[in-house]
Amino acid sequence: MGQYTDTQLQTEDLFFEEALSYIDSLYRTALRLTNNPADAEDLVQETYLKAHRFRDSFKPGTNLRAWLFRILTNTFINDYRKKSRQPQTTEMGELGEMEDYYLFRRVKEAGESLGEDPEQTVLNMFVDEEVREALDSLPEQYRLPVLLADVEGFSYKEIADVLGIPVGTVMSRLHRGRKQLQQKLWEYARQRGYKVEPPEAQNE
Average pLDDT, integer, range 162-180: 94
Of the listed ranges 20-34, 41-55, 83-97, the one predicted with least confidence: 83-97
Position 44 scores a pLDDT of 93
CA distances from 69 to 4, 31, 144, 150 (A): 28, 13, 11, 15
Whether pTM > 0.75 for this model: the answer is: no
Handedness of CA 172, 177, 180, 183 (dihedral sign): negative
Position 132 scores a pLDDT of 77
Q: Is the pLDDT of residue 96 over 80?
A: no
Average pLDDT, integer, range 43-50: 93
Distance between CA atoms of 39 and 174, rounded to whole angstroms?
A: 26
Q: Is the pLDDT of residue 88 over 70?
A: no
Residue 156 confidence class, pLDDT cut points 50, 70, 90: very high
Judge contact between 146 and 174, C-beta under 8 A.
Answer: yes
Distance between CA atoms of 175 and 159, rounded to whole angstroms?
A: 14
Distance between CA atoms of 163 and 149, rounded to whole angstroms?
A: 12
Judge contact between 134 and 185, C-beta under 8 A.
Answer: yes
Q: What domains appear along the chain, each with residue ranges and CATH number?
A: 6-113 (1.10.1740.10), 129-202 (1.10.10.10)
